[in-house]
Amino acid sequence: MNVNVQFREEGNRIYGVIEGEIDTYTAPMLREELEVITINKSSIIELDLSKVTYMDSTGLGVFVAFYKKVLKENAELKLVRLSSRLARLFEITGLSELMDIETDKKVEPANECI
């Protein structure tokens, strides 16, 4: 399977949707797609991972490298709409403590005790 990346820009915001499997075979393709993004000091980059069906450690490496590039440029990166499976990958590696990550979970209202 391939990985598909689509971007759109609105002012200083860059929105991207990533679709498919990110593994040893497709990670270089994703890396190339991310490399073409022009990052400025005020850039805010939001990547939607809701259509990523699988990711291994190679994929995590691509996101770590891109995150470092974004930080170096004093810009912001947010990964959004991660499935619980993908979110877990970022959690167990400790990356969720460094990166701004938003899962696809619905927040349930808390039950109040009286």
Question: What is the per-residue pLDDT across 51-86, written as a single tens digit (0 to 9) for each?
Answer: 999 999 999 999 999 999 999 999 999 999 999 999
- How are beta strands 13-22 and 76-82 bridged, if at all? unpaired
Residue 59 lies in a domain: yes
Residue 109 lies in a domain: no
| Total-model pTM | 0.86
State phi, psi for 47 to the nearest 5 degrees: -110, 120
Cβ(30)–Cβ(22) below 8 Å: yes
Residue 23 lies in a domain: yes
Q: How many domains does the chain have?
A: 1
Residue 108 lies in a domain: no
Give the pLDDT confidence score for residue 105 in this predicted structure: 59
* pLDDT band, residue 109 (cuts 50/70/90): very low
* CATH code of the domain covering residue 94: 3.30.750.24
Residue 112 lies in a domain: no
User: Percent of the chain at pLDDT above 90?
Assistant: 84
pLDDT tens for 38-54 read 999 889 999 999 999 99
pLDDT greater than 50 at residue 113? no
Residue 27 lies in a domain: yes
Residue 24 lies in a domain: yes
> Cα–Cα distance between 72 and 96 in angstroms, integer?
19
Range of the domain at 33: 3-103
Residue 3 zone, left/alpha/beta (φ > 0; ψ -120 to 50; rest)? beta
Residue 29 lies in a domain: yes
**Alpha helix ranges (H) inside 1-114:** 27-35, 57-72, 84-92
In the chain, DSSP finds a helix count (H) and a strand count (E) of 3, 5
